[in-house]
Amino acid sequence: MAQRISADEKQPFLSHLKELRNRILICIVATGIAFIITYYFKERIFAFLMEPFIRVMPEKSSFIFTGVTEAFITYFKISVVAALFLGAPVILYEFWMFVSPGLYEKERRYVYPFIFWGSICFICGALFCYYTVMPFIYKFFVSYAADFIIPMPDLKSYMGLTLKLLIIFGLIFQLPLVAFYLSKAGIITSTMLSKKRGYAILAIFILSAIVTPPDVVSQLLMALPMWGLYELSILIARVFGKKGIKNEES
């Protein structure tokens, strides 16, 4: 009897593993199809990502690659990242279909808006980085050029920094959205966030120092928007937060 119960208990687990495998395969296929598209347009994507530096690039300056495969790997990496962005709706949908059976009906209603607004916030963060932050950063670095110091950045380091900044700012701009949902659920309050402001600012500047190049300009260009988004999160929690929750003293 015990063996039969144990076997019965294994069936749901195995079925979940099979479902997870199928959904992962769908995500891989969707990303693969997206990769074919993005690799076809790799030169245009590459040119778009190079534009912030090209605008401030001095005369006689150019990009270089020092490894035989470096240019190919750079194009490949760009195509993969772009394919993940392009295939994100399918990936998020498959993830949602996998976890939704374990959610309450009320919780399910918030998922689609979260995916939609999360995508919007991510795009806004990436665009803010592309049009505001990156031009300042690269102009600052290029300002150290001279007649005998000509910038010759290699593709690998430039594209690695560019993609990292775009992804980081896309994630940073999720903060107000996360604050909205956590405050609606009563997990956080505006008073709680206000009391932790000092620790949050310290954490913001530490994080900025870790993930940005080692110069004050880059750190400030990341830290100040994060600080502003934190203050916006406090306002959002105050306006949309769950009412009737007693704020605890820290």
Is residue 225 situated within a structural domain?
Answer: no
Give the mean pLDDT of 139-151: 80
Q: How many domains does one find in the chain?
A: 1
Give the mean pLDDT of 139-143: 83
Is residue 180 situated within a structural domain?
Answer: no
pLDDT at 45: 92
pLDDT digit string (tens) for 73-107?
A: 889 999 998 998 888 888 878 887 777 676 666 66
Is residue 64 situated within a structural domain?
Answer: yes
pLDDT at 188: 84
Give the mean pLDDT of 118-147: 86
CB 45 within 8 A of CB 79: yes
pLDDT at 102: 65
pLDDT digit string (tens) for 150-200?
A: 788 888 888 888 988 888 898 899 899 888 888 887 788 888 889 989 999
Is residue 230 situated within a structural domain?
Answer: no
- The residue ranking higher by pLDDT, 114 or 106, is 114
Is residue 113 situated within a structural domain?
Answer: yes
Is residue 27 situated within a structural domain?
Answer: yes
Is residue 232 situated within a structural domain?
Answer: no
> What domain range includes position 144?
2-173
pTM: 0.77
pLDDT digit string (tens) for 5-49?
A: 454 455 566 777 888 888 899 999 999 999 999 999 999 999 999
pLDDT at 248: 45
Is residue 193 situated within a structural domain?
Answer: no
pLDDT digit string (tens) for 199-246?
A: 999 999 998 888 777 778 788 888 999 999 999 999 998 888 776 555
